[in-house]
Structure 1
Amino acid sequence: MAFFLETLFGGLMAGMLYALVALGFVLIFKASGVFNFAQGAMVLFAALAMARFAEWIPQWTGIENKIVSNVAAFIIAAAIMFVCAWVIERLVLRHLVNQDAATLLMATLGITYFMEGVGQTLFGSEIYKIDIGMPKDPVFLLDSVFDGGVMVNQEDVIAAVIAACLVAALSVFFQKTSTGRALRAVADDHQAAQSIGIPLNRIWVIVWCVAGIVALVAGMIWGSKLGVQFTLTTVALRALPVVILGGLTSVPGAIIGGLIIGVGEKLSEVYLGPYVGGGIEIWFAYVLALVFLLFRPQGLFGEKIIDRV
């Protein structure tokens, strides 16, 4: 039972990180109605900025305090993501207002390769480290209930708490603020939103800024766990099944979908992997997403689209 709980907790922690990355996809889709393939590149770019500035600031200023350098690096990386959002809106999205979703999709693919190339040019292509002081040693819980207790990774717990707080804040933002309601209106119909005075260009800048902050937090956490390297792009794309499962327009769906896939990956790998030769954790999420695309393409919490002729 203790081993099962360890696996379950590990899956829940991984699921929260998947949900955090998936939020970026949901945010862009809610505001523009297009699936943002650049989200993985945004995670990588933000993590590279955070890692490199945390390394450069002590060299430039002589300040050796790790907390100060990390906070300063986070602020600079966040400012860079804001600038990226403004540039993307000004040079790309502004010229594609009211265009087909396929056109916007291709634009995000172009943004992906551009950000990957610029990130490599500015920050390098080595493997970099982000050390934000999260403890990496495991702790043992429920010693009095199970022999030896249940091992839980402290870093995973802290990362999951950070992700949960950000998810909760974004949920309140979408449901309780006028800007959040404007974002939902823009997602429903660009032309209708403009006709009632909602500034489409400003809304897109806001949502890309928010998605950039989400990408920065996700990149910081994943970079702390795995190191900042170009494989972070593929890690981010593992959130695609989360979005399909939860629904492209649902923030709660991203949370539930992330938890389901995180737990499903861990449990299937541990309990079914030995019978099929292992490797289930790699493809489990994509097979589950395929099943949902066949039988419930709108996801668990997505809105069912009904076309009337």
Structure 2
Amino acid sequence: MSPDVSFFIEVVVGGLLSGVMYALVAIGFVLIYKTSGVLNFAQGAMVLFAALTFVSLVERGLLVPAAFAATLAVMALVGLAVERAVLRPLVNQPPITLFMATLGVAYVIEGAAQLAWGTQVHALDLGIDDTPLEFGGVLVSRFDLVAAAIAGVLVAVLTLFFHTTRTGLAFRAVADDPLAALGIGLRLPRIWSAVWIASGVVALVAGLLWGARLGVQFSLSLVVLKALPVLVLGGFDSIAGAIVAGLIVGAAEKLAEVYLGPVIGGGIEGWFAYVAALALLLVRPAGLFGRRSVERA
């Protein structure tokens, strides 16, 4: 294999693995949006809060398994509290009202994290060696491979949950048609609570992986901005779309940075995905996998 081909493959694989991390954050958005139509801008703050809680508990002497279990319980309670205290009283309000509510929740969660754990930056070591592995002359990050595997396991667990459990099947029914689900006796508040808890769990996994990569600091909440182009491309109501779009965004921005950056200037990786998302919005507002809204006159 020629060096140019090997380098191209390395760039593509690195981008795909980064895209898995983007998709992991986007899945938290999709879970909420599918059932309630709420764009949960607090997802980034939940990612930060989860990572900060875990690393703070470990630094205070708690063993890693115990810290993970405690943080898991905390994030489930955070998700449940947000749904009960903020979103449930605002049911049937305009989408902009719900969006602004989640924006306010984001600042409340960040403030609570600061009060509880302080503002210092923490290093998060998950024990994953980041030395590159070589496959046929192509170097791949070991950490990225492990992170992709963890994300794959999480997606598989969510898929099994939604297809084999009563709560999961109820979730799918609510996502497909909330009024019909209500008509057959499904309790929507219970489903919404379960989904917000699941969103908190997803935030924990994303927080640990992103915190290990970037360090646990308050700018970690801005990882939510990386998920927005993924949501636009994949569709706000499609988990499969979030995964595929995450891979597309990750690979595209890496290729753009490497091959277009020297021509039009550096920093293209930071905004290329937004340009692609904007272009898609002009021709397919629902995204590649999102359902188009149908209005009958």
Provide the TM-score with structure 1 as the length reference: 0.91
Is residue 83 of structure 1 aligned with residue 77 of structure 2? yes
**Structure 1: unaligned runs, 5 residues or longer:** 59-68, 143-148
Between the aligned residues of both structures, percent identity stands at 55
Counterpart among 179, 185, 188 of residue 167 in structure 2: 179
Partner residue in 2 for 1:6: 10
Corresponding letter in the other structure for 1:261: V
Partner residue in 1 for 2:291: 303
| SS of residue paired to 2:126 | coil
Partner residue in 2 for 1:241: 229
Partner residue in 1 for 2:247: 259
Matches of residues 124-163 of structure 1 in structure 2 within 5 Å? 124-142=118-136, 149-163=137-151
Partner residue in 2 for 1:57: 61
| SS of residue paired to 1:139 | strand
Partner residue in 1 for 2:272: 284
CA distance in 1, matches of 2:186, 2:241: 26
Q: Please report how far the alpha carbon of residue 186 of structure 1 lies from its aligned counterpart in structure 2 after TM superposition.
A: 2.8
Deviation per CA, 1:249-277: give whole Å up to 9, x if none.
Answer: 11110010000000001011001100011
Is residue 106 of structure 1 aligned with residue 94 of structure 2? no
CA distance in 2, matches of 1:193, 1:100: 21
CA distance in 1, matches of 2:286, 2:154: 24
| SS of residue paired to 2:134 | strand
| SS of residue paired to 1:238 | helix
CA distance in 1, matches of 2:184, 2:87: 20
Deviation per CA, 1:169-228: give whole Å up to 9, x if none.
Answer: 223333443322322333455454333221122111110111111110001001111110
Is residue 36 of structure 1 aligned with residue 40 of structure 2? yes
Corresponding letter in the other structure for 1:114: V
**After the TM superposition, which parts of structure 1 deviate over 6 Å for at least 4 consecutive aligned residues?**
none
Deviation per CA, 1:226-261: give whole Å up to 9, x if none.
Answer: 110111111222111101100111111001000000
Deviation per CA, 1:7-30: give whole Å up to 9, x if none.
Answer: 111001101001111000000101
CA distance in 2, matches of 1:185, 1:103: 25
Counterpart among 111, 120, 123 of residue 117 in structure 2: 123
CA distance in 1, matches of 2:273, 2:167: 33
CA distance in 2, matches of 1:113, 1:49: 16
Equivalent residues of 1:46, 1:215 under 8 A apart: yes
Corresponding letter in the other structure for 1:242: V
Corresponding letter in the other structure for 1:14: S
CA distance in 1, matches of 2:290, 2:223: 24
| SS of residue paired to 2:133 | strand
CA distance in 2, matches of 1:185, 1:254: 20
Q: Which moved more, 1:43-52 or 1:89-98?
A: 89-98
Deviation per CA, 1:272-297: give whole Å up to 9, x if none.
Answer: 10001111100011111111111101
**Structure 2: unaligned runs, 5 residues or longer:** none
CA distance in 2, matches of 1:97, 1:34: 10
Q: Which moved more, 1:83-92 or 1:221-230?
A: 83-92
Task: Count residues in correspondence.
Answer: 293
| SS of residue paired to 2:294 | coil
Query: What is the root-mean-square deviation of aligned Cα atoms in Å?
Result: 1.4
| SS of residue paired to 1:126 | coil
Partner residue in 2 for 1:73: 67
Equivalent residues of 1:70, 1:132 under 8 A apart: no
Provide the TM-score with structure 2 as the length reference: 0.94
Equivalent residues of 1:171, 1:251 under 8 A apart: no
